[in-house]
Amino acid sequence: MKLKVLLPTEVLVDEEVVKVIAEAENGSFCLLPRHVDFVAVIVPGIFCFVTPDLVEQFYAVDEGILIKCGHEVMLSIRNAVRGPDLGVLKKTVQKQFVELEDREKMSRSALARLEAGFIRRFMDLEPQQRAYSP
């Protein structure tokens, strides 16, 4: 099977595989080359595939869509992290989660400052408009 893992900004994986394991809303599933065509909503979790050399590859993935059509399997997801094994992958995900949380806090803080500035300026405009009212 030809596997393509697509992120919004890049093609993360584009290679031949013999097996794909993913997690949907109703549990984990496995796709083999002769599996029926298939569409699934992927939930955040572990995505695994096996290359023709029988090497397992592990990715922590965010939500997305998986489509198997004929010989092709395409996974479109928002974010993914590769790990050589599950232990390293867990540490990598935890580190990225902390970094993402810090960035989200900074973004929320900046947005709160913008909103406060907007409201302050809007309130400053209100008395001037009343002075011009007939």
Average pLDDT, the chain: 86
**Averaged pLDDT for residues 92-96:** 74
Q: Give the integer Cα–Cα distance in Å for 43 and 63.
A: 5
Confidence category of residue 104, pLDDT binned at 50, 70, 90 = confident
| DSSP 3-state of 60 | strand
| DSSP 3-state of 20 | strand
Output the pLDDT for position 82: 84
